[in-house]
Amino acid sequence: MKYGFAIDQRTCIGCHACTVACKTEHEIPVGQFRTWVKYVDSGTFPDSTRDFAVMRCNHCTDAPCIKVCPTNALFKRDDGIVDFDGESCIGCKSCMQGCPYDAIYIDAESNTAAKCNFCAHRVDEGLEPACVTVCPTHSIWVGDLEDEDSGISRLIAANETMVRAPDQNTGPNVFYLGAERATLDPLEAPVRDTYLWANPDEHRLAASQDFIGEDPTAATTLNTAHPRPWGWRVATYLWAKGMAGGALFVAALAAIVGVPLGALGDVVAPVLAAAGAAATGLLLVWDLKRPERFYYLFTQPNWGSWLVLGGYVLLVFGLAATAWLAGALLGPDSLLVWLAWLVLLPCALVAGYTAFLFGQAEGRDLWQSRWLFPHLLAQALMAGAGAMGIFAWLLGVGPDGVALVTRAFVVGGVLHLAITVVDLFGGHSTRGAAVAAHMIVGGRYARLFWAGAVAPVVVAVLVALTSWNGGAAAAVAVAGMLSQVALVIYETVYVRAGQDVPLS
C-alpha cells in the first residue's frame, strides 16, 4: 500500500480551490500553505501562455525529512503517507532543510513543523483528502500506487508523467501529467518583478536575480513565500563550534609535539572549547521554535538524525574540554599527552559533524558538497588557532608556542581558502549547487563574500606569515581577530546562499 497523488495539469485551471479547501480543513494560519498553485507565464505576445502546477509534499518513498527529523515527529505510515506529529516536534526546522520541495513550514500557531499529510485523518475515515474532493476539474487523483489496477496507477501508466526534483532521489509520489517543466523546476522560471495578483516575497525576488532558465521569457507569476529557515544563529553556531574544536585541537597538538603553551593550552584552550560548545548548544536551543522541548532530542531520539548525533557530539566534546582542563590543572603532564590523543576525535567531530547534518539537508544542494567536512576542519583550525593566537599575544606566550599557533593558523587559513576555491568554483553536481555558488562568488553575496569573507583571510594569512617563527605574536593576534569576523561572514553567506536557491 502506497498512497500517492497524480496531478493533471492538463485540466488544472489554477483556481486555488485546493489551496483554500486545505486551509479550511486544517485551519492553517494566514501566510502558510500545505498546498498551493504556482503560475508560470512565458512566451511573447501573442504567443504568450500561462502554466500551473500544484505544489505540495511529495510523500517521498525515501523521505529526507523523516531521516533528518531528530525527534521522530515526522514518520512514514504503512500506507505510504509521510505524516507528522506536532506533539513531538521541537521546531528545529531541519526537516525544512531536508525537504527539496519547500513543502514544510513552521505553523505560526503551534510553532511546530507542518505540511501536507494527505489529510491522514480523513483517509483514516475512508475519505479523500480535502483538495481532491473540492477540485472543480478533478485534476487531483489519489490512490494506491502499488495496486496496478488502481485508477491512479492506470493513469500514470497510460500517460507521460513528471516529478519534481528527480535528481534528489527521494522517490517522490506526486506525479504530474502534462506539466510544463518550468513550473516544476524553480530554476527554470525566476520571479521577474512581481506576481500577477500578489507581491513576491523579497527573499524570492532577490534570489531570482541570480539565475535564468532555458526559456528566458519564463517567469514565476504566482507562488508562496519560503523564508530561510536558518539564520544568524546557525551561522554563528558554525563559527562557535569550529573555533571551539580548533582551539582544543591546537592545545592537543602542542601537547603531542611537546611545545609548552602554559596557561594558553591548559586553561584558555579548554575554556574556549567549553564556552564555544556551550554557546553552540545555547544557539541551537535558541533557534528551536519550541525551545522548551529541546530535551526531546534525548528522550525521543531519531538515531539516524545528525541533529541527535550532533547533540551527543557536543556533549562528548564538552566532556573532553572539561577533562582537558581538569587534567591540565590536576594531572601530570604525561596524562595530557594521552588526553591530547583522545580529544583529537571529539575536536574533529565537533567541527565537522555539521557536514553530515548539512548532508542530510537534501534541499540544500550547496551543502551536499563532499568538501564540506574537510572544509569545516580547516575552518576550525583557522578559527581555533586564530583565537589561540589572540590569547597567546595577551598572555605573552613564548616564541615556540606562538610559532605553533601561527603555523596552525596559516595552514588552516590556506586550506580554508583553497577548499573555498575548489568547492565554489569547482564542478557542481547539481544546478542548485551551482546557482548557490554563483550567488556567493558572482551574485548577490559576491561583495560581502570577497570583501568580508575572503580578503580578510588572505590578509590575515599574510600578516600571520610574518610570525611564522613565532616572532610576532601581535601579528597572529590581529590575524586571529580578522579571521573570526571573516569566518562569521563566510558562514553567514554560506548558510544564506544554501537556502536561497528556490525549491518550488
Per DSSP, the three-state class of 37 is: strand
Give the interface segment with other proteins, choosing from 22-30, 290-298, 315-323, 416-424 (CB under 8 A): 22-30
Distance in Å, CB of 233 to other proteins, minimum: 23
AA identity, residue 330: L
Distance in Å, CB of 360 to other proteins, minimum: 24
Grid cell at residue 258: 611537546
Give the Cα separation of 477 and 393 in Å (integer): 6
Site track 151-180 with other proteins (rule: CB under 8 A), x = hit: xx----------------------------
Distance in Å, CB of 99 to other proteins, minimum: 19
Grid cell at residue 201: 516575497
Q: Spell out the alpha helix ranges (H) of 159-268.
A: 181-184, 202-207, 232-257, 263
Nearer to other proteins, 199 or 334 (CB): 199
Nearer to other proteins, 132 or 465 (CB): 132
Given a contact cutoff of 8 angstroms between Cβ atoms, the answer to whether 489 and 453 are in contact is: yes
Beta bridge partners, 219, equal 41
Q: CA torsion 426→430→434→436, rounded to 10°? A: -130
C-alpha dihedral sign at 37, 38, 43, 46: positive
Give the Cα separation of 264 and 326 in Å (integer): 14
Site track 377-396 with other proteins (rule: CB under 8 A), x = hit: --------------------
Given a contact cutoff of 8 angstroms between Cβ atoms, the answer to whether 4 and 114 are in contact is: no
Looking only at residues 46 through 65 of this chain, which bind other proteins when binding is defined by CB under 8 A? Answer: 46, 48-52
Closest CA to 382 of 264, 207, 245: 245
Looking only at residues 174 through 213 of this chain, which bind other proteins when binding is defined by CB under 8 A? Answer: 192-199
Grid cell at residue 487: 569566518
Nearer to other proteins, 25 or 400 (CB): 25
Distance in Å, CB of 441 to other proteins, minimum: 28
Looking only at residues 464 through 503 of this chain, which bind other proteins when binding is defined by CB under 8 A? Answer: none
Give the Cα separation of 453 and 448 in Å (integer): 7
Q: Identify the residue whose cell numbers are 580578510.
A: 456
Give the Cα separation of 340 and 331 in Å (integer): 13
Q: Spell out the alpha helix ranges (H) of 144-231.
A: 151-158, 181-184, 202-207
Alpha-carbon Rg for the chain, nearest whole angstrom, is 25
Site track 214-233 with other proteins (rule: CB under 8 A), x = hit: ---x----------------
Q: How far is CA 448 from CA 456, 479, 489, in A?
A: 11, 19, 8
Looking only at residues 85 through 144 of this chain, which bind other proteins when binding is defined by CB under 8 A? Answer: 85, 87, 108-109, 117, 119-128, 130, 132-139, 141-144
Q: How far is CA 227 from CA 19, 155, 500, in A?
A: 19, 35, 9
Q: Identify the residue whose cell numbers are 506576481.
A: 195
146 binds other proteins (CB under 8 A): no
Nearer to other proteins, 119 or 259 (CB): 119
Of the candidates 7, 17, 376, 478, which one interacts with other proteins according to CB under 8 A? 17
Nearer to other proteins, 41 or 365 (CB): 41
Helix (H) or strand (E) holding 54: strand 49-56
Distance in Å, CB of 299 to other proteins, minimum: 18
Give the interface segment with other proteins, choosing from 14-22, 58-66, 282-290, 437-445 (CB under 8 A): 14-22
Grid cell at residue 449: 563574500
Nearer to other proteins, 45 or 303 (CB): 45
Distance in Å, CB of 206 to other proteins, minimum: 15
405 binds other proteins (CB under 8 A): no
Nearer to other proteins, 79 or 400 (CB): 79
Give the Cα separation of 293 and 289 in Å (integer): 9
Distance in Å, CB of 67 to other proteins, minimum: 19
Given a contact cutoff of 8 angstroms between Cβ atoms, the answer to whether 464 and 389 are in contact is: yes
Closest CA to 131 of 5, 3, 1, 30: 5
Of the candidates 2, 4, 7, 21, which one interacts with other proteins according to CB under 8 A? 21
Count, residues near other proteins per rule CB under 8 A: 71
16 binds other proteins (CB under 8 A): yes
Q: Do the strands 105-106 and 35-42 form a parallel or antiparallel pair, or are they unpaired? A: unpaired
Distance in Å, CB of 105 to other proteins, minimum: 13
Of the candidates 4, 7, 23, 501, which one interacts with other proteins according to CB under 8 A? 23
Give the interface segment with other proteins, choosing from 10-18, 323-331, 399-407, 432-440 (CB under 8 A): 10-18
Of the candidates 15, 271, 342, 458, which one interacts with other proteins according to CB under 8 A? 15
Looking only at residues 65 through 84 of this chain, which bind other proteins when binding is defined by CB under 8 A? Answer: 83
Looking only at residues 284 through 303 of this chain, which bind other proteins when binding is defined by CB under 8 A? Answer: none
Nearer to other proteins, 41 or 287 (CB): 41
